[in-house]
Amino acid sequence: MRFRSLSILIIASIPVAACTYDEGPDPSKRFLALGMDTPEKNKVEVCHAYGCKMKTEYRFTSKNIAAIRGEMAKVKRNGSPAEERRAIAYAIGLMERQVGVAIGIRDVAGMQWLASGDPTQEDCVDESTNTTSYLMVLQANGLLRYYTVEGPLGEDNMLWGTLTGRPVKNWPHYTAIIREKKSGQRYAADSWIGDNGENPSITMLEDWYLKSASRS
Q: In whole angstroms, how large is the CA radius of gyration of the chain?
A: 17
Given pLDDT bands bounded at 50, 70 and 90, which one contains residue 60?
very high
Whether the predicted pLDDT of 134 surpasses 70: yes
DSSP 190: E
Round the average pLDDT of the chain to a whole number and report it: 87
Asked whether 187 and 178 are in contact (CB, 8 A), the reply is yes
Q: Which pLDDT tens digit goes with each residue over 143-187?
A: 999 999 999 999 887 554 444 455 455 678 999 999 999 999 999
Q: For 151, phi and psi rounded to 5 degrees?
A: -75, 155
Report the pLDDT averaged over residues 41-56.
Answer: 97
Q: Please give the distance of CA 22 from its chain centroid, rounded to a whole number.
A: 13
- In angstroms, the first-to-last Cα distance of the chain is 27
Asked whether 114 and 107 are in contact (CB, 8 A), the reply is no
Question: What 3-state DSSP class applies to 149?
Answer: strand
Over pLDDT 70: what percentage of the chain? 82
> What is the C-alpha separation between 169 and 172, in angstroms, rounded?
9
Q: Please give the pLDDT value at position 4.
A: 43
Closest residue by Cα to residue 204 from 163, 162, 147: 147
